Amino acid sequence: MRVEGKGLIDRKQRLSFRFDGRTYHGFAGDTLASALLANDVRHVARSFKYHRPRGILTAGSEEPNALVTIGRGPATDPNVRATVQELYDGLEARSQNAWPSLGFDVLSINDLAAPFLGAGFYYKTFMWPRAFWEKVYEPFIRRAAGLGALGGEKDADHYEKAYAFCDVLVIGAGPAGLMAAWTAAQAGAQVILADEDSRMGGRLNAETLTIDDKPGADWAADMVSKLAAMDNVRLMPRTTVTGAHDGGTFGALERVSHHVNGVPPGGVKETFWRIVAKRSILAAGAIERHIAFQNNDRPGIMAAGAVRAYLNRFGVSAGKAVTVFANNDDAHRTAMDLQDAGVHIAAVIDSRKDAQALGDYRLMSGAIVTGAEGRKGLEAIRVTTATGTEKIATDCLAVSGGWNPTVHMTCHMNGRPTWDERIASFVPTPGAIPGMETAGACNGAFSTASCLSEGVAAARSSLDALGMTAPDIKIPQADDSNYALEPLWAVPGKGRAWLDFQNDVSVKDVKQAAQENFTSVEHMKRYTTQGMATDQGKNSNVAALALLADATGRGIPETGTTTFRPPYTPVALAALGAGAQGKGFAPERKTTSHAASVAAGAPMIEAGLWYRPSHFPLPDEKTWRQSCDREVGWVRNAVGICDVSTLGKIDIQGPDAAKLLDFVYTNMFSTLKENRVRYGLMLREDGHLMDDGTTARLGENHYVMTTTTAAAGQVMRHLEFVTQALHPEWDVRIMSVTEQWAQFAVAGPKSRELLNGLLDDAIDDSKWPFMSCGPVTVQGVKGRLFRISFSGEHAYELAVPSRYGDSLFRLLVARAESLGGGAYGMEALNVLRIEKGFITHSEIDGRVTAQDIGMARMLSEKKDFIGATMAQRPGLTEAGRAQLVGLKPVGPVKQLTAGAHIYTDGAEPVAEHDQGYVTSVGFSPTLGHFIGLGFVTDGLSRHGDVLNMVDHVRGIQTRVELCDPVFFDPKGERTRG
């Protein structure tokens, strides 16, 4: 219920929202949780395993119970913590993990079957019979267990990543964080202050404490506005720092549009930040822990600090007759604040015998709560004292077992926290994250005064490390009361007492784990599932390991903690993959002929990042094969045009250019004459083929190298390695010019005729023999012409600056069409090269040597080159290696398929009879049958052998004859003619 005169909400802005189909109202500044409590909705969820009714436990991101689904369809967000979901008008939330409804949940029968579903149940109960696991047990468990479900439709919202940089990153904007940010900002440091809440101030917004005689929330608001006005400060509210990573890098999730009804057009739902900070200050506060007793999970039983937060920040009393159960002084404030606001306090139960009342309420010291009644909402508690047991009617029990510092981030780089007996909890181990200071409650300093002074001190240390001068900062006056507690993890007694609410782990489960010898804390976690799922046991970890320590007779420090890993709170995969949706996945590289190819109806296929035309269909062609056959025919009989700009082109200049080429290629390039082109093979240092291509000598000290499209980046990096790391003394400069030139193959018997109508100066075979190159002009534009061929025909490649690429391509195609040819695509290019036995990366797949492809003669013996030594090692030269062969069908089945294996003819097609594999295939319209390239054991000397090709995947068997890989024009007369 609302309490008049309390809270930081805006009562003038009334908001309407729906929960499980019913309409309610709240105010601006509410969370979904506070609005539900204001409407007296206490039962909001069912637990994971036993489907027990659950209510709101906390007021923060550590909430284990109140997980709901927000939105519908593609915008569905499951597992949203109602405690952090800001209320907006029109918000629609649904409960999860209950069927048919939250009130009547069929699977709550699991709760009755609990004796069979205890810790490790899935390792035991469902073991037999074995065959039942997949068909019966697993489907049942999957249906029964679980959190919210995804919408099932593609998430239409955008997410983004972004980078931020600062001198000092302050994580958490409570009193310690605000003072740290203020101090660092006064010194002129670039400061980022990030807080997961929409309103900065931390606990100051949830308490009635004062700072410098001002209400804490007002002091915080003043600080925030002063910081916001500074140029060197960046405030990041709604931003959870999720992880501390190497080198001062932090991940942070900003919830950009969760507080509004739908992502605005062009906007993003979340931004995942990478913040790079020279220094960082963790001021993440602390999380209150529960106390285990029978039925301590009933809706209405809440964290004491949360009950205060709902009152002081949201103007909501979580009950009408409130009781408090605690082992420390801090929780007494809950009674005081509620009483001041006019709420009835039925009793304060303090387990400490010497507990003192802070005000005029009924205190039961040395007492414990031993049970709770009211299944879907708390009705009464049983309190046991030295003299007996009393039942007290109450609809809200505020529990505090003390506070656990939020040390998580300090453990993200393998650090372990240190046990602090004083507060019976873990505190950060100094230096666990390089460059990180810790301050305030996360450091075990719980009073407001100590938070303020630790914030200043942490900033001072950070500024010192940055070489900056810390200003004199007056530390404001604030409460400095002592935090006194006596540890109490679980009250003794019968019945199930809950530790981990999200995973339904009880005290008994932890004891059972210990009994069954899962005594390591990591084993206990996995055996009981304590500390798993969305809250990662934020409320229960310390208590669970304290009980484990007790059960195993060890101390808590020796028992240790499980490993805290990023992210601190859940991060949607959509945020981690942000920017990679749709066209953001990878750059699209488009050639200058792209528009013309698409306009001609060519389907574009991906070649690495490039898009290249598959084929250019004519209107009467039904299949790609028809187009491909026709395009091959054009090149063999007339002339074809193909964009080859995607091949890597590298400009190599300098006095030692030839030395470099001789070193990276297996064959000689220093002997190449100017205006001539040579084919070269490049090895890796281990003797295997890296790439092949042609290199042209444009001048005495000027070459241009061509790489395959696939290996362009790799070869460039390789050349950089050789020139920087192996031979820095060589005077040679290399530069990628792939993008500078639009280059087109003009291939076919009529290629010279085509060019001679186009080039400003006619060419002839005497001046432009095979493997020549040189400058030309095309309608006044300076270009380069290479007489090289990847088709086996008389052919050229003509390059012009890319700005003219589109225009030249259209011109070339038009001229080709007038000569009985036209454009050809990747399919035809592939068939043409297979007909000639030219290799691509389908063949040189990283395991293949020059010898394997029959090019041993290209390994020069006159020089050292990359791979020279290792190419001669026995494993690469001895008999029995798979070698390149041509393949043609000779049996009734005529089809060849790439990827198929080749087996001994007549033998069973199994691994022990494997002879090799097929790398490339195509239907040759020139020869009228399928042809293929492949690798077969000792294949170079086995031409004429007949073997059995078997494609086990597609179910094809074809008898094949091994032959020379050059199927067409073996003497190369067409190329040279």
Partner 1 sequence: MRLRCPICGERDRREFYYQGAAVMLDRPAPDAGEAAWDNYLHLRENPAGDLEEVWSHDAGCGAWLKVTRNVSTHEIKSVELAREVKQ
Partner 2 sequence: MADLIAKTPLDSMEPVTIGTCTVTEANLGTLTSIAPYAGAKIADTFKTAHGMAWPAPNRATGKDGARAIWFGRDMVLLAGPDPDAGLAKHAALTDQSDAWTAVTLGGADAEAVLARLIPLDLSPANFKRGHTARTQIQHMTGSVTRIGADTFLLLVFRSMAGTLLHDLERAMASVAVRG
List contacts with partner 2 (CB under 8 A). Answer: 158, 160-165, 190, 256, 264-268, 271, 274, 276, 579, 583-584, 586-592, 610, 651, 653-655, 724, 731, 733, 735-742, 778-781, 800-808, 811
CB 937 within 8 A of CB 852: no
Residue whose CB is less far from partner 1, 870 or 890: 870
Residue whose CB is less far from partner 2, 62 or 656: 656
Residue whose CB is less far from partner 1, 64 or 428: 428
Q: Which does 779 bind (CB under 5 to 8 A by kind): partner 2, partner 1, none?
A: partner 2
CB 882 within 8 A of CB 936: yes
| Percent helix, strand and coil across the chain, each to the nearest 5 | 25, 30, 45
- Comparing C-alpha atoms, which of 87, 92, 94 is closest to residue 31? 87
Q: Which of 222, 621, 685, 961 binds partner 1 (CB under 8 A)?
A: 685
Residue whose CB is less far from partner 1, 717 or 803: 717
Q: Which does 738 bind (CB under 5 to 8 A by kind): partner 2, partner 1, none?
A: partner 2
Residue whose CB is less far from partner 2, 146 or 654: 654
Residue whose CB is less far from partner 1, 383 or 466: 466
Could you tell me the smallest distance in angstroms from the CB atom of residue 719 to partner 1? Answer: 10
Residue whose CB is less far from partner 1, 431 or 769: 431
CA dihedral sign of residues 510, 513, 519, 524: negative
Count Cα neighbours of 562 within 13 Å in the Cβ-side half-sphere.
24
| Residue 620 is a binding residue for partner 1 (CB under 8 A) | no
In the 8-state DSSP scheme, what is residue 759?
A: B
Residue whose CB is less far from partner 1, 28 or 868: 868
Residue whose CB is less far from partner 2, 100 or 265: 265
| Residue 16 is a binding residue for partner 1 (CB under 8 A) | no
CA dihedral 183, 188, 193, 199 (to 10 degrees): 70
- Comparing C-alpha atoms, which of 529, 539, 491, 487 is closest to residue 509? 529
Residue range at the interface with partner 1 (CB under 8 A); choices 61-69, 295-303, 573-581, 713-721:
713-721
CB 854 within 8 A of CB 883: yes
CB 742 within 8 A of CB 647: no
Could you tell me the smallest distance in angstroms from the CB atom of residue 580 to partner 2? Answer: 8
CB 824 within 8 A of CB 693: no
Per-residue burial over 65-92, b = 16 or more CB atoms within 10 Å of its CB, e = otherwise: bbbbbbbeeeebbbbbbbbbbbbbeebb
Residue range at the interface with partner 1 (CB under 8 A); choices 220-228, 241-249, 340-348, 690-698:
241-249
Q: Which does 858 bind (CB under 5 to 8 A by kind): partner 2, partner 1, none?
A: none
Q: Which does 584 bind (CB under 5 to 8 A by kind): partner 1, partner 2, none?
A: partner 2
Between CA 163 and CA 276 the distance in angstroms is 8
Could you tell me the smallest distance in angstroms from the CB atom of residue 237 to partner 2? Answer: 13
Q: Which does 653 bind (CB under 5 to 8 A by kind): partner 2, partner 1, none?
A: partner 2
Taking each helix axis from N to C end, the angle separating 826-835 and 624-637, rounded to the nearest 10 degrees, works out to: 60
Judged on CB neighbours under 10 Å (0-12, 13-18, 19+), 517 is exposed
Q: Which does 813 bind (CB under 5 to 8 A by kind): partner 1, partner 2, none?
A: none
Residue whose CB is less far from partner 1, 342 or 431: 431
Q: Which does 460 bind (CB under 5 to 8 A by kind): partner 2, partner 1, none?
A: none
Please name the amino acid found at residue 877: T
Residue range at the interface with partner 1 (CB under 8 A); choices 334-342, 365-373, 722-730, 914-922:
722-730
Residue whose CB is less far from partner 1, 469 or 869: 869
| Residue 587 is a binding residue for partner 1 (CB under 8 A) | no
Beta strands in 256-352 (DSSP E): 270-282, 286-288, 301-303, 321-326, 344-350
Query: Which strand (E) or helix (H) includes residue 515?
Result: helix 507-515
Residues 873-892 that bind partner 1 (CB under 8 A): 873
Q: Which does 267 bind (CB under 5 to 8 A by kind): partner 2, partner 1, none?
A: partner 2
Between CA 528 and CA 118 the distance in angstroms is 8
| Residue 728 is a binding residue for partner 1 (CB under 8 A) | yes
Could you tell me the smallest distance in angstroms from the CB atom of residue 836 to partner 2? Answer: 28
409-428 footprint of partner 1 as x/- string (CB under 8 A) = ----xx--------------
Residue whose CB is less far from partner 1, 241 or 514: 241
Could you tell me the smallest distance in angstroms from the CB atom of residue 565 to partner 2? Answer: 24
Residue whose CB is less far from partner 1, 246 or 764: 246
Q: At CB < 8 A and 24+ separation, what contacts does 449-454 make?
A: 449/475, 449/477, 449/478, 449/479, 449/480, 450/480, 451/174, 451/175, 451/176, 451/179, 451/283, 451/478, 452/175, 452/176, 452/179, 452/211, 452/476, 452/478, 453/179, 454/176
- As given in the structure block, the two tokens for residue 244 are 């501390």
Q: How far is CA 89 from CA 13, 407, 597, in A?
A: 10, 36, 51
Could you tell me the smallest distance in angstroms from the CB atom of residue 725 to partner 1? Answer: 4
Q: Which does 245 bind (CB under 5 to 8 A by kind): partner 1, partner 2, none?
A: partner 1
Count of residues interacting with partner 1 (CB under 8 A): 26
Residues 152-211 that bind partner 1 (CB under 8 A): 163
In sequence order, the 6+-apart residues with CB closer than 8 A to the CB of 636 are: 748, 749, 793, 832, 926
Could you tell me the smallest distance in angstroms from the CB atom of residue 433 to partner 1? Answer: 11
At 618, give phi and psi (nearest 5°): -90, 160
Residue 467: how many other CB atoms lie within 10 Å = 6
Between CA 244 and CA 437 the distance in angstroms is 12
Query: Which strand (E) or helix (H) includes residue 755?
Result: helix 751-756
Residue whose CB is less far from partner 2, 276 or 475: 276
433-452 footprint of partner 1 as x/- string (CB under 8 A) = -x------------------
Judged on CB neighbours under 10 Å (0-12, 13-18, 19+), 793 is buried
Residue range at the interface with partner 1 (CB under 8 A); choices 211-219, 715-723, 817-825, 831-839:
715-723
Could you tell me the smallest distance in angstroms from the CB atom of residue 248 to partner 1? Answer: 7
CB 432 within 8 A of CB 408: no
Between CA 556 and CA 459 the distance in angstroms is 32
Q: Which does 246 bind (CB under 5 to 8 A by kind): partner 2, partner 1, none?
A: partner 1
Residue whose CB is less far from partner 1, 213 or 246: 246
Between CA 674 and CA 809 the distance in angstroms is 28
Q: Which residues bind partner 1 (CB under 8 A)?
A: 163, 245-249, 274, 276, 413-414, 434, 685-686, 717, 720-721, 724-726, 728-729, 864, 868-870, 873
